[in-house]
Amino acid sequence: MKNAIIILGMLLAVTSQAANNKALDTIYANDHMNMALFFPSNIKQGIVGNNNFVFTYNREKGQTLGLLKAFPGKDSNLLVITDDGSVYSYMVRYAKKLEYPNKFIALQERIGTEKRDVGEKVSQTGPSKERVWDSLIKHTKAERKFQKSCEALLQLPERRNVRKKSQGLSLAVKNLYPVEDEVYVQFELENSSGVKFDFGNLELFKASGRKGRRASYQELELLPLYRYASPNSVMHGQKARFVYVYPKFHLDKGERLKVNLSEAGTSRLVVLTFK
């Protein structure tokens, strides 16, 4: 009852009434998997309306990641307010099986804002289509969108472990997530070569056919929109995890992905092929 009163009070504080009229999306969760929800801004407050649902987030250090769990019982609702004043509301339902236990929330999904002037401020800092090449140097609108998603991705469990070892270097793909119009690829580089590895260039290709048959073999390079935590160098005995963001793509029958990682100033090269 207490939760229901709090939710009602929060909804009354939302001033963008027109957006509230749209039907709410449903998020499914269960008791043996975490449904990971990534919001465009850090979570300030999150409440569920029934005690057979649990929504947790970092209350001490702001994060965009929230985890939803559900136990068998009645459907309920989830209300979340983020630091930028945006308000999000969803129906939540128990499901025995989750096909995709992660959801990236778009800014457009908010039902309103806490204050009338917040909408203008948020719209000015929304995602941009401009190309960003280095998260450590550029600070743009696109970076704010991609950076938060990359940070959240590095907190997720690793669902892949496609690995290639060469000359004491080990390159792995740990996660690959399509989100809206982009694909996020998490890489890991481990150096056990005995010497420092100076990060050169990482290239991703869509490849098809057999390389021995020139007429049938084709490569199409996929250019990144954004790089997050890409290292300058990796010392012997160390690992580096980083994320590249690409425009959304899909693989046709017979196609695969190929990664070339080269070292600056040397001939060292790691080539990783996977689907």
CATH of 2-124, one of 1.10.1200, 2.120.10, 2.40.50, 2.60.40: 2.60.40
- Token pair, residue 248, equals 């959304």
DSSP states of 93-149: EE-S--S--EEEPPGGG--EESSTTHHHHHHHTS---S----TTT---HHHHHHHHH
116: tokens are 């009338």
DSSP 253-272: TTEEEEEEEEETTS--EEEE
pTM value is 0.52
Domain 162-274 has CATH 3.40.50.720: no
Compare 134 and 127 and report the one with higher pLDDT: 134
**pLDDT tens-digit readout, 29-72:** 999 888 999 998 899 999 998 889 999 988 877 788 999 999 99
pLDDT over 60 (residue 156):
yes
For CATH 2.60.40.1150, the residue range(s) in the chain are 162-274
Return mean pLDDT, the chain.
80
Whether residue 172 has pLDDT greater than 70: yes
**Do 132 and 226 touch, CB atoms closer than 8 A?**
yes
Beta strands 233-234 and 269-274, pairing class? unpaired
Higher local confidence (pLDDT), 189 or 59: 189
| Residue matched to tokens 């007429």 | 215
pLDDT band at 20 (very low <50, low <70, confident <90, very high): very low
What mean pLDDT is predicted for residues 1-30?
Answer: 54
**pLDDT reported for residue 9:** 44
Tokens (6 digits) for 198: 């100076």
Asked whether the predicted pLDDT for residue 6 surpasses 50, the reply is no
